[in-house]
Amino acid sequence: MTTTFTFLFFSFTLLFSFFSLLIYISRIKPWCNCNTCKTYLTMTWSHKFINLVDYYTHLLQNSPSGTIHVHVLGNTITSNPQNVEYILKTNFNNYPKGKQFSTILGDLLGRGIFNVDGDSWKFQRKMASLELGSVTIRSHAFELVTEEIKTRLIPLISSFTKEKTVKSVTKPEEESKADNISENEDVVLDMQDILRRFSFDNICKFSFGLDPCCLVPSLPISNLANAFDLSSKLSAQRAMNASPIIWKMKRFFNVGSEKKLKEAIKIVNDLANEMIKQRREIENGVDSRKDLLSRFMGSLNSNDDEYLKDIVVSFLLAGRDTVASALTGFFILLSKNPEVEKKIRVELDRIMNPVQDCATFEQTREMHYLNGAIHESMRLFPPVQFDSKFALEDDVLPDGTFIKKGSRVTYHPYAMGRMENIWGPDCLEFKPERWLREGVFVPKCPFKYPVFQAGSRVCLGKELAIVEMKAVVAALVKRFDVRVVGSNQEPRFAPGLTATFRGGLPVEVYERT
């Protein structure tokens, strides 16, 4: 046993040293001498830009075709709407997620809808379309959101106003945030943390029929939420390695970040499997429950619990992180644009009863200006900042860019929202009016605004997400003034599958009279 361990240890050390040397050599003398690749490898882009996505945006803004190449990554990045339409619709079959992508997220998402192509993807999408498109499931989802707003979100925010405040910080070692509450202090509340808790409660109830109670007054630490966050973060970091061999070696020897990832995914999987087991044990209970898991079990009519787990974990990822990210970006922009806030309140006062805490589903459909404001905020702060595909065959994009078989092709919604040639000279301004025509919301071309993807892979949960965001914003803006602390600072993004603001979103909250 000792001999085997020693052999493995020295083998790993030798291989790690070898690949470290290769990386060092590549950084000293990269095989591509173009300025973009050298800047990326040496990280000198960070001297001028806070985030890598801002550096890519700069490059794309200065590219005549709206397309750039990062040769050392084998990645073609585009902000050209014609290219986006070609990739997501016209020649969709040539640009699947690809084996490379599926391998990176395979441990977390398995065979879930966001990690597969071909027949498996078509089957899950058809099934999900039937479920998410039903009136019953949409009504149930809205009821869950409304209940969480009334019973938890509003009372919690109200308790943290000027009279009773909290300094909310997200540290895993904390047992509870209740100890941070103190009287007669200015409010410093991490709104991103609150919104993530809100979204996690909702999506868990919707997906599993499980209430993790993340938004109860004590603001407890959730092992499931932490494990899910860590899983997403470490899975995304795999793609940032200089070579996939590095993380695959770490996974093989179960060391470092891969060991942490394995442990975090086990927590997520154990809970999902326990939920499935409980559903199996409920006598004739599958069809009587409204949560997504039960409905999928009834539709699948299968005993493949691993497959069920992968499907629901994928929806957990989509429904939690994207909504929280979009709402966080919204409140950042709203805090800087009080005139937009005033117009939203005028609309809410016209549509809602003065004593209403939450809007009805019918009322949310009348909120055209708010709808425009939400879409506008996601233009500037898309929850998914970029998305990649892999070419099956050699191809040429509409702008003349050659794509080699097996190479990565990325479209960049974050950069696209900052392009003058797409949105005009005021592209950096927060203007909900650009989405309105005679006071009525009018959607834009999805290929110039691919926040929800477009074409065959367009997000099935788009309408559910928009309604949830409308309900949250209407409830909070109607009752509170939310002001970002240090609102002039440029946001910094943390690594992850969705946009997460590093350091959270510290706000001061004042109850309106």
Kindly tell me the sign of the dihedral angle through the C-alpha atoms of 310, 316, 322, 325: negative
Report yes or no: 136 and 290 within 8 Å, Cβ to Cβ. Answer: yes
125/333 Cα distance (integer angstroms):
34
447/310 Cα distance (integer angstroms):
29
- Tokens coding 409: 């092709």
Question: Between the CA of residue 361 and those of 2, 202, 351, 365, 508, what are the distances in Å?
Answer: 65, 16, 12, 7, 29
Please report where in the chains the tokens 């996939």 appear, as a residue.
Answer: 244
Report yes or no: 390 and 98 within 8 Å, Cβ to Cβ. Answer: yes
Those residues with Cβ within 8 angstroms of residue 79's Cβ, 6 or more apart along the chain or in another chain: 57, 60, 66, 67, 411, 412, 415, 416, 419, 422
Residue 459 annotated as part of some ligand binding site: yes
Question: Which one-letter DSSP state was computed for residue 79?
Answer: -
H helices within 408-461, ranges in order? Answer: 413-416, 420-423
Those residues with Cβ within 8 angstroms of residue 322's Cβ, 6 or more apart along the chain or in another chain: 383, 384, 465, 498
- Tokens coding 289: 């429950």
Report yes or no: 272 and 315 within 8 Å, Cβ to Cβ. Answer: no
- Tokens coding 39: 């800047």
Report yes or no: 106 and 115 within 8 Å, Cβ to Cβ. Answer: yes
Q: Which amino acid is at 203?
A: I
Secondary structure of the chain: what % helix, strand, coil (to 5)?
Answer: 60, 10, 30
- Tokens coding 326: 């979009």
Helix (H, G, I), strand (E, B) or coil at 3: helix
Please report where in the chains the tokens 């020295």 appear, as a residue.
Answer: 10
408-411 vs 402-403, strand pairing mode: unpaired
Question: Between the CA of residue 269 and those of 10, 112, 128, 290, 295, what are the distances in Å?
Answer: 33, 13, 21, 21, 19
CA angle in degrees (0–180, nearest 5) for 20-23-24 = 85
Helix (H, G, I), strand (E, B) or coil at 381: coil
Instruction: Name the nearest CA neighbour of 507 among 367, 374, 327.
Output: 327
Q: Kindly provide the residue ranges of all beta strands, DSSP E only, lying in 244-353, ordered along the sequence.
A: none
- DSSP per-residue string spanning 166-208: EB----TT-S-SGGGEEESS--BEEHHHHHHHHHHHHHHHHHT
Q: Which residue positions form the known binding site?
A: 459
Q: Which residue positions form the known binding site for heme?
A: 459
